[in-house]
Amino acid sequence: MFDYRSAALDVLKTEIAALEQLDQYFNQDFVQACEMIMANKDGKVVVMGMGKSGHVGNKIAATLASTGTSSFFVHPGEAAHGDLGMIESGDIVLAISNSGESSEILGLFPVLKRLNIKIISMTGKPSSNMAKLSDLHLQITVPKEACPIQLAPTSSTTATLVMGDALAMALMQARGFTSDDFALSHPGGALGRKLLLKLSDIMHTGRDLPLVTPTTVVRDALLEISQKGLGMTAVVDDHQLLVGIFTDGDLRRILDKRIDIHSALIGDVMTVNPTVAEPNMLAAEGLNLMQDKSINGLILCQDGKVVGALNMHDLLKAGVM
């Protein structure tokens, strides 16, 4: 029986070895490439590549675009048949080819040069035509491919991807790109919900907000908790200012003390100085706060007044956790 596991481990070892020597190529050429892109305020980074290099290039362009560097991928074959019009003077072309001899890309160089477009090539052959004709060259040479017959691009495509990620992340940090910036380009899906959603978007307000006063009998407060379904109620004064909170946990504690819920006032058994948050807090931050404080519910206040409330179930339903 063929040893699939050993074959897989050989691939892993070969590709790790390739990456371990990649650090030598994060040299002055890499720094200059970053500086060239940073200095290009109005232009875009146009990524090109054929075959496997094209697939990796597509991913690199997407990573650049989502981390603050305007970028898109153009297929070299399509560029020669009209898509070259997508590239404008002032753009920077990132051309990827392990051999550095991709005829489809090299055929575009005269036009790119005529348009005064800067070219950064990423190849495994610093003596290649593409490397020599480019304004800057990023080397991605690997000792060998993980393919046992040394034909399928494997280690070389991994090295290309890492070089692209390094470029994108270096630029991201240089720009001071934040999680808020990242959220603006990822508004959809779970990631968007975590980064963009605020507590005000999911909090209970108005008639759905559990509220009682300090003079409310515990029994009536329990009815308010049951009707509103948050497992707690805020305790407010006549001006809607928060003075305390009463939760399911508080109920268990007073029952252990045999306090009469039909006569005791909520003001005498409530928790004072509870953990609160503001409505404009990100939902992800609210989740972290609740987990840090080991609480299941959160009262939201604005200038001391209670304006909303939510519990862990609301965050779960909103897809924040």
Determine whether the annotation assigns residue 313 to a binding site.
Answer: no
Number of Cβ within 10 Å of residue 115's Cβ equals: 14
Portions of the chain given CATH number 3.10.580.10: 199-318
Number of Cβ within 10 Å of residue 103's Cβ equals: 11
What's the mean pLDDT in 48-71? 93
pLDDT band at 79 (very low <50, low <70, confident <90, very high): confident
Return the C-alpha torsion angle 82, 86, 90, 92, nearest 10.
-90
16 SS3 class: helix
Which segments of 197-247 does DSSP mark as H helices, in order?
199-202, 218-228
What's the mean pLDDT in 41-66? 93
What pLDDT, on the 0 to 100 scale, is given for residue 66?
A: 86
Amino acid letter, 108: L
What's the mean pLDDT in 259-272? 92
pLDDT band at 191 (very low <50, low <70, confident <90, very high): low
Give whole-number Cα distances, 166 to 52, 67, 139, 159, 242, in Å.
Answer: 19, 12, 13, 10, 50
Question: From the DSSP assignment, how many helices (H) and strands (E) are in the chain?
Answer: 16, 11
The tokens 């519910």 sit on which residue? 297
Global pTM?
A: 0.64
Count of residues making up the chain:
321
pLDDT at residue 189 tops 80:
no
User: Please, are residues 58 and 47 in contact by the beta-carbon 8 Å criterion?
Assistant: yes
CATH superfamily label, 4-177: Glucose-6-phosphate isomerase like protein; domain 1 (3.40.50.10490)
pLDDT at residue 113 tops 70:
yes
Q: Which of 131-140, 146-155, 192-201 has the lowest mean pLDDT?
A: 192-201
What's the mean pLDDT in 308-321? 85
What pLDDT, on the 0 to 100 scale, is given for residue 177?
A: 81
Give whole-number Cα distances, 68 to 129, 173, 216, 319, in Å.
Answer: 31, 10, 54, 26
Indicate the average pLDDT of the chain: 90
Give whole-number Cα distances, 81 to 76, 86, 87, 151, 257, in Å.
Answer: 9, 11, 13, 29, 83
For 166, counting Cβ atoms within 10 Å of its Cβ (0-12 exposed, 13-18 middle, 19+ buried), the class is middle
As beta bridge partners, residue 311 has 297
Question: Rounded distance, CA 282 to CA 245, Å?
Answer: 22
Question: Rounded distance, CA 80 to CA 148, Å?
Answer: 35
User: Please, are residues 148 and 141 in contact by the beta-carbon 8 Å criterion?
Assistant: no
Q: Which of 182-191, 216-225, 281-290 has the lowest mean pLDDT?
A: 182-191
pLDDT band at 184 (very low <50, low <70, confident <90, very high): low
Determine whether the annotation assigns residue 215 to a binding site.
Answer: yes
What pLDDT, on the 0 to 100 scale, is given for residue 85?
A: 83
Reference 287, options 311, 268, 262, 252; nearest CA is: 311
User: Please, are residues 231 and 247 in contact by the beta-carbon 8 Å criterion?
Assistant: yes
92 SS3 class: strand
pLDDT at residue 152 tops 80:
yes
Question: Rounded distance, CA 36 to CA 27, Å?
Answer: 14
What pLDDT, on the 0 to 100 scale, is given for residue 188?
A: 56
**More confident: 60 or 179:** 60
pLDDT band at 89 (very low <50, low <70, confident <90, very high): confident
pLDDT at residue 54 tops 80:
yes
What pLDDT, on the 0 to 100 scale, is given for residue 22?
A: 94
Q: What percent of the chain has pLDDT over 70?
A: 94
Portions of the chain given CATH number 3.40.50.10490: 4-177
pLDDT band at 107 (very low <50, low <70, confident <90, very high): very high
pLDDT band at 180 (very low <50, low <70, confident <90, very high): low
Residues 6 or more apart whose CB falls under 8 angstroms from that of 229 comprise none
Determine whether the annotation assigns residue 213 to a binding site.
Answer: no
82 SS3 class: coil
What's the mean pLDDT in 226-248? 93
As beta bridge partners, residue 73 has 47
pLDDT at residue 296 tops 70:
yes
What's the mean pLDDT in 79-101? 89
CATH superfamily label, 199-318: CBS-domain (3.10.580.10)
What pLDDT, on the 0 to 100 scale, is given for residue 84?
A: 81
Determine whether the annotation assigns residue 157 to a binding site.
Answer: no
What's the mean pLDDT in 33-47? 93
pLDDT at residue 193 tops 80:
no
Pairing of strands 118-123, 92-96: parallel
Residues 6 or more apart whose CB falls under 8 angstroms from that of 6 comprise none
What pLDDT, on the 0 to 100 scale, is given for residue 192?
A: 58
Question: Rounded distance, CA 310 to CA 286, Å?
Answer: 10
pLDDT at residue 282 tops 90:
no
Q: What percent of the chain has pLDDT over 90?
A: 72
Write out the H or E segment, with its range, that includes residue 162.
Answer: helix 155-175
